[in-house]
């Protein structure tokens, strides 16, 4: 497997990028052998607004290129696009498996069970 960083995916996803031609050639040559990590997804989501790119399209495209079936990246992108959640909270939400310890009420609007860090539960 060959690890691709953010620049590779941006070159493919941006409408105009000076590296697009090279990125397409590399994609063709190494199809099925390209991998990446959550760090790349986070960076791409942070850059989506700057380049006016759709977070859901980004996530689904990168997942397809890298043969990633884990839906957490798509979930995070949906939280960003549909709910206006910031990138880091979206990834926390996508990784928490429905339950999170946090003082941030953003998770409530996503339907995630939150153990409120500000409140001490009496037992």
pLDDT one-digit tens code per residue, 75-112: 999 999 999 999 999 999 999 999 999 999 999 999 99
SS3 for 99?
strand
pLDDT digits (tens, 9 = 90+) for 53-73: 999 999 999 999 999 999 999
**In this predicted structure, what is the pLDDT of residue 16?**
95
* Cβ pair 89, 106 in contact under 8 A: yes
**In this predicted structure, what is the pLDDT of residue 115?**
94
**In this predicted structure, what is the pLDDT of residue 119?**
84
pLDDT digits (tens, 9 = 90+) for 20-56: 999 999 999 999 999 999 999 999 999 999 999 999 9
Classify residue 64 as exposed, middle or buried by CB count within 10 Å of its CB (0-12, 13-18, 19+).
exposed
**In this predicted structure, what is the pLDDT of residue 80?**
98
Tokens of 68: 């990633």
Distance of alpha carbon 23 from alpha carbon 32, whole angstroms: 14
How far from 32 is each of 10, 13, 81, 86, CA to CA, in Å? 18, 18, 28, 31
**In this predicted structure, what is the pLDDT of residue 117?**
92
Residue 29: phi and psi, rounded to 5, are -70, -35
Residue 123 has pLDDT above 80, yes or no: no
């Amino acid at each position: 497997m060959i690890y691709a960083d953010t620049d590779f995916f941006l070159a493919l996803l941006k409408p105009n990028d000076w590296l697009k031609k090279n990125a397409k050639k590399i994609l063709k040559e190494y199809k099925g052998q390209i991998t990446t990590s959550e760090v790349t997804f986070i960076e791409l989501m942070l850059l989506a607004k700057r380049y006016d790119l759709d977070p859901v399209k980004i996530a689904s495209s990168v997942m397809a290129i890298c043969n990633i079936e884990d839906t957490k990246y798509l979930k995070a992108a949906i939280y960003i696009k549909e709910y206006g959640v910031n990138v880091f909270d979206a990834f926390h939400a996508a990784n928490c498996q429905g339950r999170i310890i946090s003082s941030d009420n953003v998770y409530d609007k996503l339907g995630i069970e939150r153990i409120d860090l500000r409140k001490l539960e009496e037992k």
